[in-house]
């Protein structure tokens, strides 16, 4: 289905998959900002908040390479449906959780659902869109996810403080996961791969052209880990209260910037886009450590959102350009594994930093590590990695 003679982006399969992704990520972003608050409600410490946020992507990391192999050989559509179904089941059981141990187990299951849907859906989009417009298509596709962030986080943080607010959020998340399954059903699957190495432990998983961009995005994800794990609690601790304004502003900034990003990612060299987009993100996370008002928080959100709008689709397109079609799902599985290793490992490590040195220190440490990642990326480019 990767037909160079067909330059259309907004074909029916792309639209159905994008709407399905919107529904899937609406479910995800409903839960993302309230999980730290839910851990605190269950009696958790900052370190346990980090664990709850961190084990989700770690489970995804462990699952992605396997899912990538099978999505390449058994079809993308199946694993989109599996991922959404796992999200549905997880959301229902969250509402019944009364202990941190059960919550941690559910976070592991939930992470596998994320791995299944995102690995297969990203590979599917790469399959159906010609290379010349791939960066543009991935940018539009990611915009659906960012719109979900705006709506999902706003609804979640608005409901969380009400009576039975947590349970209500969990049930809405389950319904959205079910809608995602219905939207995937009409999608035509891409042809199964009949060539290439179909083993899990093959060279795709440690080849430099796959690992290099994946490692860089993983280090950059440390900044995102700091935000999702500790911003809701930090905002309350400094008297800002509901941090919904941050997530709304951030999501709108990403969506607005994607209009420009969708064109520039294909126009300019992808590595340059990656480097220049990382700079505002690092500045924003550093500023977050010193933010004392809602207005400052919104400015930081906009700055961070602008950078991320360019960074993630540029990095994905950079990776996809470097691998063969039959390796796309496996390569993207590695890419998202590193992304989630940065989020998961970052949340756990920064949770320890936050517990002993405060949330401000966690934001600063995340920014410093992100700067090292960009330096490493520039070094690798000079050595033709």
Question: DSSP secondary structure string, 219-231?
Answer: HHHHHHHHHHHHH
Judge whether 128 and 102 are in contact, CB under 8 Å.
no
- Over residues 42-67, the pLDDT tens digits come to 888 888 988 998 899 888 888 877 88
* Residue with tokens 């009576």, as numbered in its chain: 163
For residue 3, the model assigns a pLDDT of: 45
For residue 4, the model assigns a pLDDT of: 44
* Residue with tokens 């907004």, as numbered in its chain: 10
Q: 14-184+202-382 maps to which CATH number?
A: 1.20.1250.20
For residue 194, the model assigns a pLDDT of: 55
Average confidence score pLDDT of the chain = 84
Distance CA 60, CA 116 (A): 8
- Over residues 151-209, the pLDDT tens digits come to 888 888 888 777 788 899 999 999 999 999 999 999 888 766 554 455 544 555 567 77
Q: Which three-class secondary structure state does DSSP give residue 185?
A: coil
Give residue limits of the domains in the chain. 14-184+202-382
For residue 191, the model assigns a pLDDT of: 67
- For the chain, which ranges sit under pLDDT 70? 1-7, 9, 131-132, 134-135, 139, 191-206, 241, 262
CA-to-CA dists, residue 36 to 32, 41, 68, 224, angstroms:
8, 9, 30, 14
């Amino acid at each position: 289905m990767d037909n160079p003679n067909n330059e259309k982006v907004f074909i029916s399969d792309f639209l159905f998959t994008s709407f399905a992704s919107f529904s899937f990520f609406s479910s995800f972003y409903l839960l993302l900002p309230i999980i730290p608050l839910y851990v605190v409600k269950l009696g958790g410490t900052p370190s346990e908040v980090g664990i709850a946020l961190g084990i989700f992507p770690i489970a995804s990391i462990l699952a992605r390479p396997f899912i990538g192999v099978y999505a390449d050989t058994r079809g993308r559509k199946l694993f989109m449906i599996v991922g959404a179904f796992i999200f549905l089941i997880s959301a229902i059981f969250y509402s019944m959780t009364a202990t941190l141990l059960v919550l941690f187990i559910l976070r592991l299951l939930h992470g596998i659902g994320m791995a299944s849907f995102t690995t297969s859906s990203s590979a599917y989009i790469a399959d159906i869109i010609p290379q010349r417009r791939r960066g543009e298509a991935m940018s539009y596709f990611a915009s659906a996810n960012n719109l979900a962030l705006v709506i999902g986080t706003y609804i979640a943080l608005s409901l969380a403080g009400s009576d039975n607010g947590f349970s209500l959020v969990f049930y809405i998340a389950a319904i959205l996961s079910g809608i995602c399954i219905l939207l995937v059903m009409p999608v035509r699957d891409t042809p199964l791969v009949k060539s290439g190495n179909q083993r899990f432990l093959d060279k795709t998983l440690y080849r430099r052209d796959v690992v290099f961009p994946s490692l860089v995005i993983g280090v950059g994800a440390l900044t995102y880990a700091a935000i999702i794990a500790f911003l809701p609690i930090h905002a309350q601790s400094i008297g800002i209260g509901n941090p919904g304004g941050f997530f709304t502003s951030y999501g709108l900034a990403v969506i607005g910037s994607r209009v420009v990003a969708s064109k520039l990612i294909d126009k300019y060299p992808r590595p340059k886009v990656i480097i220049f987009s990382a700079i505002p993100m690092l500045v924003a996370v550093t500023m977050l450590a010193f933010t004392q008002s809602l207005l400052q928080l919104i400015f930081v959100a906009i700055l961070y959102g602008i950078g991320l709008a360019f960074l993630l689709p540029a990095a994905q397109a950079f990776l996809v350009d470097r691998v063969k079609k039959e390796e796309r799902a496996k390569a993207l599985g590695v890419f998202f594994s590193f992304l989630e290793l940065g989020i998961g490992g970052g949340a756990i490590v920064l949770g320890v930093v936050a517990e002993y040195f405060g949330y401000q220190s966690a934001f600063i440490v995340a920014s410093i590590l992100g700067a090292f990642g960009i330096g490493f990326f520039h070094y690798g480019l000079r050595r033709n990695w």
